């Protein structure tokens, strides 16, 4: 699946119509969740039952009937996703909260399927044909959507971002494959806070620390919000300035992770990395901001994406004792977080992150050779996070 995003340009009335469409989507989604909560035990609630219920909503509420029928179904499916995720978590007996479905209060998008919209022959404009009154919008962007068949466009999503405006996303149902020649190189990556990552070849990629660098400016814009009268135009403008600063940091992280992941995957046939549970690790309040700033999970997502695109192998390995074990002889050498050099009785002396990266590469090779297989993007091995794991990863 390929997603192309354009910024849309229209009039104020059209933007108001988009907002009304998004509110309608939120209403249908919440109604579907309520229907699942109130349903009798004898009644089977699934995606098809919610689609049937969405038809009933169209008859009951005129503003729902104004929305395209397939867009109404798409909104009901969002409710089903929330319900099914809760059921799946209960069946798998995960620890902690199971994610009981909640009512949404800040919906920011509406989704059309294969009807309710029409592309201009130039494919630089899009017209929405339902009764919400959105009309024709201009598409601003450099993506080459002209090279794709309209039949391949499976969904069109309208998004409102308070910080930057309105966008249209096109979900194109094609396989993105760009097989690259084999290089014969293999690499292990140990992510950290001091460096973005350290690899098994001894290279340390600097941590850009985008949030830390912009933090003073962000805090200044945040203070300006509370100096304005609540509900005033000045306060809304101050909020928008504050949101734009966070948006800039977010885009910097995405572009950095994308660029680094592309280079790593393109130049190596095997990339091994740690299977981290970042959502658990950010519970450490002393390090949560630094962990979020370095964006380990975002980097992993791009590694897996480019591994599929370039026909390479990305392997996730368990991170247990990768920092403590000697990459040369396998002996456990206990080290505190302040110890930056690995020294073993066998004579091996390395930077502790490079030593961990070499251990990760060794585990990746073992997984590749068939000890454990998983999905198409590579090998995944589940990991339980404990106190010792947090110490190993944060350096």
The verdict on 246 and 314 lying in the same domain is: yes
Asked whether residue 32 carries a pLDDT value surpassing 90, the answer given is yes
**Across 65-79, 189-203, 360-374, least confident range:** 360-374
pTM: 0.80
Q: Domain for residue 223, yes or no? A: no
74-91 mean pLDDT: 90
Q: Domain for residue 115, yes or no? A: yes
Q: Which residue has the higher pLDDT, 339 or 138?
A: 138
Return d(Cα 72, Cα 49) in angstroms, integer.
13
Domain count, the chain: 2
Q: Which of 149, 172, 195 is the last residue of a domain?
A: 172
Quote the tokens at residue 335.
Answer: 């080290």
For the stretch 310-354, pLDDT in tens is 999 999 998 888 888 888 887 887 877 777 788 887 878 888 888
246-259 mean pLDDT: 94
In this predicted structure, what is the pLDDT of residue 40? 63
The residue range of the domain holding 337 is 186-209+241-393
Instruction: Output the CA–CA distances (angstroms, integers) from residue 240 to 218, 237, 246, 251, 385, in the order listed.
Output: 12, 5, 10, 16, 38
Q: Are 317 and 363 in contact (CB under 8 A)?
A: yes
The verdict on 193 and 108 lying in the same domain is: no
Asked whether residue 395 carries a pLDDT value surpassing 50, the answer given is no
- To the nearest whole number, what is the mean pLDDT of the chain? 86
In this predicted structure, what is the pLDDT of residue 373? 41
Question: Of 293, 301, 317, which Cα lies nearest the Cα of 394?
Answer: 293
The verdict on 132 and 254 lying in the same domain is: no
Return d(Cα 194, Cα 356) in angstroms, integer.
14
The verdict on 191 and 115 lying in the same domain is: no
Q: Which of 172, 197, 227 is the last residue of a domain?
A: 172
The verdict on 362 and 287 lying in the same domain is: yes
Q: Domain for residue 335, yes or no? A: yes
Q: Domain for residue 34, yes or no? A: yes
Q: What band does 224 get if pLDDT is binned at 50, 70 and 90?
A: very high
124-143 mean pLDDT: 91
Instruction: Output the CA–CA distances (angstroms, integers) from residue 363 to 114, 203, 379, 381, in the order listed.
Output: 45, 19, 11, 11
In this predicted structure, what is the pLDDT of residue 166? 94
In this predicted structure, what is the pLDDT of residue 372? 44
Q: Are 209 and 192 in contact (CB under 8 A)?
A: no
Q: What is the DSSP letter of 123?
A: S
For the stretch 171-223, pLDDT in tens is 998 877 888 888 889 999 999 888 999 998 989 999 999 999 999 999 999 99
The verdict on 327 and 368 lying in the same domain is: yes
Q: Which of 147, 172, 197 is the last residue of a domain?
A: 172
The verdict on 26 and 48 lying in the same domain is: yes
Asked whether residue 28 carries a pLDDT value surpassing 80, the answer given is yes
The verdict on 164 and 192 lying in the same domain is: no
The verdict on 197 and 138 lying in the same domain is: no
Q: What band does 43 get if pLDDT is binned at 50, 70 and 90?
A: low
In this predicted structure, what is the pLDDT of residue 379? 39
Question: Of 104, 24, 31, 16, which Cα lies nearest the Cα of 66?
Answer: 24
**Across 157-171, 244-258, 270-284, least confident range:** 270-284
295-323 mean pLDDT: 90
Question: Burial of 126 by CB count in 10 Å (0-12 exposed, 13-18 middle, 19+ buried)?
Answer: buried
Asked whether residue 127 carries a pLDDT value surpassing 60, the answer given is yes
The verdict on 157 and 260 lying in the same domain is: no
Return d(Cα 364, Cα 266) in angstroms, integer.
17
The verdict on 167 and 31 lying in the same domain is: yes
134-163 mean pLDDT: 89
Share of the chain above pLDDT 90, in %: 52
Q: Which residue has the higher pLDDT, 174 or 103?
A: 103
Q: Domain for residue 220, yes or no? A: no
SS3 content of the chain, % helix, strand, coil (to 5): 45, 20, 35
Asked whether residue 254 carries a pLDDT value surpassing 90, the answer given is yes
In this predicted structure, what is the pLDDT of residue 42? 58
Q: Domain for residue 72, yes or no? A: yes
Q: What is the DSSP letter of 29?
A: H
Q: Tell me the β-bridge partners of 167.
A: 7, 159
The verdict on 144 and 191 lying in the same domain is: no
Return d(Cα 99, Cα 102) in angstroms, integer.
8
Q: Domain for residue 161, yes or no? A: yes
Q: Domain for residue 346, yes or no? A: yes
Instruction: Output the CA–CA distances (angstroms, integers) from residue 341 to 81, 327, 331, 355, in the order listed.
Output: 47, 13, 15, 9
Q: What band does 394 get if pLDDT is binned at 50, 70 and 90?
A: very low
Q: Tell me the β-bridge partners of 189.
A: 199
């Amino acid at each position: 699946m390929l997603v192309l995003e354009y910024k849309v340009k229209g009039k104020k009335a059209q933007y108001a119509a988009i907002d009304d469409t998004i509110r309608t989507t939120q209403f249908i989604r919440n109604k579907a969740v309520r229907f699942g909560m109130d349903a009798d035990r004898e009644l089977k609630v699934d995606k098809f039952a919610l689609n049937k219920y969405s038809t009933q909503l169209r008859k009951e509420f005129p503003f729902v009937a104004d929305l395209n029928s397939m867009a109404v179904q798409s909104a009901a499916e969002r409710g089903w996703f929330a319900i099914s995720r809760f059921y799946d978590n209960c069946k798998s007996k995960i620890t902690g909260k199971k994610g009981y479905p909640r009512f949404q209060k800040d919906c920011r998008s509406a989704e059309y399927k294969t009807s309710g919209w029409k592309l201009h022959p130039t494919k630089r404009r899009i017209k929405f044909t339902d009764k919400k009154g959105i009309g024709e919008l201009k598409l601003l962007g450099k993506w080459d959507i002209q090279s794709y068949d309209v039949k391949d466009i499976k969904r069109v999503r309208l998004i409102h971002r308070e910080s930057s405006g309105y966008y249209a996303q096109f979900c194109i149902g094609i396989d993105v494959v760009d097989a690259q020649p084999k290089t014969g190189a293999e690499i292990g990556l140990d992510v950290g806070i001091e460096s973005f990552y350290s690899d098994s070849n001894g290279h340390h990629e600097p941590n850009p620390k985008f949030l830390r660098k912009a933090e003073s400016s962000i805090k200044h814009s945040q203070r300006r919000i509370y100096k304005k009268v609540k509900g005033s135009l000045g306060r809304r403008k101050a909020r928008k300035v504050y949101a734009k600063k966070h948006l800039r940091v977010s885009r910097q992280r995405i572009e950095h992770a994308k660029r680094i992941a592309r280079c790593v995957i393109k130049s190596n046939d095997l990339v091994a990395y740690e299977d981290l549970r970042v959502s658990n690790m950010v519970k450490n309040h002393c390090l949560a901001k630094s962990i979020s700033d370095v964006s380990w999970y975002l980097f992993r997502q791009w590694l897996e994406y480019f591994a599929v695109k370039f026909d390479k192998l990305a392997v996730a390995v368990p991170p247990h004792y990768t920092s403590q074990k000697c990459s040369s002889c396998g002996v456990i050498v206990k080290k505190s977080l302040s110890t930056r050099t690995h020294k073993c009785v066998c004579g091996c002396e390395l930077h502790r992150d490079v030593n961990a990266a070499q251990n990760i590469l060794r585990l990746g090779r073992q997984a590749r050779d068939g000890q454990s297989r998983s999905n198409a993007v590579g090998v995944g091995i589940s990991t339980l996070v404990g106190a010792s794991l947090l110490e190993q990863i944060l350096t």
